[in-house]
Amino acid sequence: MDKKRRDFLKIAGVTTLAGLGGTTVVDRLVSGSSPVQARAAQEVDPAEHGAGEQTAASGHGEEVVKSGKRLGMVVDLRKFRKHPELLEKVKHVCHAEHNVPDFPNKKDVVKWIWPTGFENAFPEHSSYHLDEDSEDNKVPVFCNHCDSPPCVKACPTRATFKNKDGIVAMDYHRCIGCRFCMAACPYGMRSFNWRDPRAGLDMNNINRRFPTRMRGVVEKCNFCAERVGLGEQPKCVEVCGETKAMIFGNLNDPKSEIRKVLKENFTIQRKPSAGTHPSVFYIV
C-alpha cells in the first residue's frame, strides 16, 4: 500500500475534526436543545442554591421554617459578669461529667469548655480601646455545633458528624486521630489526646456512667448528647440553672425559649465570616 505523508496528514486532520465536532453534534441531538438553552437551564440551580445559603446565613431571628432540630445555645455574658464564680464551676462540672483529663503540661491539655479573653473569642470584633467589662472578664468558649461544620467535611472516616438534633457529634470508635478536624475548625475547639487520658484522671473519682477516651483520638464538647437524648438539659446549662446564664434549645422551633431570647437581645457569633453558621450565640 502506497501512502504519502501528505495523504496521511489530511486523513488524520479530518478524523480529529470529526472526533471533536462529532461529539458536540451528538450531544445537541440527544439533549434536543441549543447550547444557549442548555446553559440557561444550568444557571437556575446555582441561583436557588445561593438563595438557600442566604436564608441560612441570617441566623438571627428570621422566620425561616426548617424541618428538623437544630440545637443551639445562648451564652449571656452579663450573667457571667454578675456571677464571676460560675465560669470555673461550669468548666469543672463539664469536665467531671465527661471524664475530661487534667494534664498540667500545656501541650497535652484536653478541654471541652473553658474561659478565654474577649479578644481571643471574638477576634473579628475590633475595637480601639476595649470596654472595661469585656477587658476584665472572660468568655466561656466551647464547640459551636455549626450548621455548616467544616470539621465534618474534613473528617475522612465520618467519625465526626452532624446528628439528627443538629449536634456535631464524635464517634470515637471511628476516629483515627488524623486531626484534619482540628485543622478545619476555625475556633480551635478540639483537643487531641496525645497521652492516655486515664493518666490525667483520678480513676477512683470518675463518672462511671460515661466512658473516657483513648490515646490518639480527638475530642470536644458534645452538647451533652447523652443527656439531651434522654430529655435532659446539658450539664453546663443545668449548673447555671436559675441564673439563666446559658440558655439551650431548638433554634428551628419559633416558640422555643432560646428563640425568644434571640429575639429580645442583640447577640453575636464567633467568627461569622468563616461561614460556618455557629449555633452558639453570645449576649455581650
Partner 1 sequence: MYDSGKIIPGLIIFVLFITFPIWYNHGDAGAVPQPELPKNVKECVLPITEMRSDHMQLLNEWRDEVLRTGDRSFDVKIGDKMYQKSLMNTCMQCHTSKKKFCDKCHTYASVKPYCWDCHLAPVE
Nearer to partner 1, 226 or 257 (CB): 226
> Which H helix or E strand runs over 228?
helix 225-228
Q: Which of residues 163-182 bind partner 1 (CB under 8 A)?
A: 163-165, 169, 171-173
Least gap, CB of 192 to partner 1 (angstroms): 15
Selected binder of partner 1 within 10, 21, 206, 241 (CB under 8 A)? 206
Site string (75-94) toward partner 1, x via CB under 8 A: --------------------
Nearer to partner 1, 169 or 221 (CB): 169
DSSP output for 47-106: HHHHHHHHHHH-TTT-----SS--EEEEEEHHHHHHSTTHHHHHHHHHHHHTT----SSG
Q: Report the candidate in 272, 277, 245, 265 with the shortest Cα–Cα distance to residue 123.
A: 272
Least gap, CB of 101 to partner 1 (angstroms): 12
What CA–CA distance (Å, rounded) separates 135 from 130?
6
Tell me if 133 sits within 8 A of 167, measured CB to CB. no
- Grid coordinates of 278: 455557629
**Is position 67 an interface residue for partner 1 (rule: CB under 8 A)?**
no
**Is position 21 an interface residue for partner 1 (rule: CB under 8 A)?**
no
Nearer to partner 1, 146 or 228 (CB): 228
Tell me if 277 sits within 8 A of 259, measured CB to CB. no
Q: Which of residues 207-236 bind partner 1 (CB under 8 A)?
A: 208-209, 211-214, 225-226, 229-230
- Grid coordinates of 237: 446549662
Per-residue buried b or exposed e for 127-150, using 16+ beta carbons within 10 Å of the residue's own CB = eeeeeeebeebbbbbbbbbbbebb
Least gap, CB of 217 to partner 1 (angstroms): 8
**Is position 155 an interface residue for partner 1 (rule: CB under 8 A)?**
no
- Grid coordinates of 25: 453534534
Site string (257-276) toward partner 1, x via CB under 8 A: --------------------
Question: Which residue is it, cell 487534667?
Answer: 102
Least gap, CB of 213 to partner 1 (angstroms): 6
Tell me if 93 sits within 8 A of 239, measured CB to CB. yes
**Is position 252 an interface residue for partner 1 (rule: CB under 8 A)?**
no
Least gap, CB of 90 to partner 1 (angstroms): 24
Binding site residues, partner 1, CB under 8 A: 161, 163-165, 169, 171-173, 206, 208-209, 211-214, 225-226, 229-230
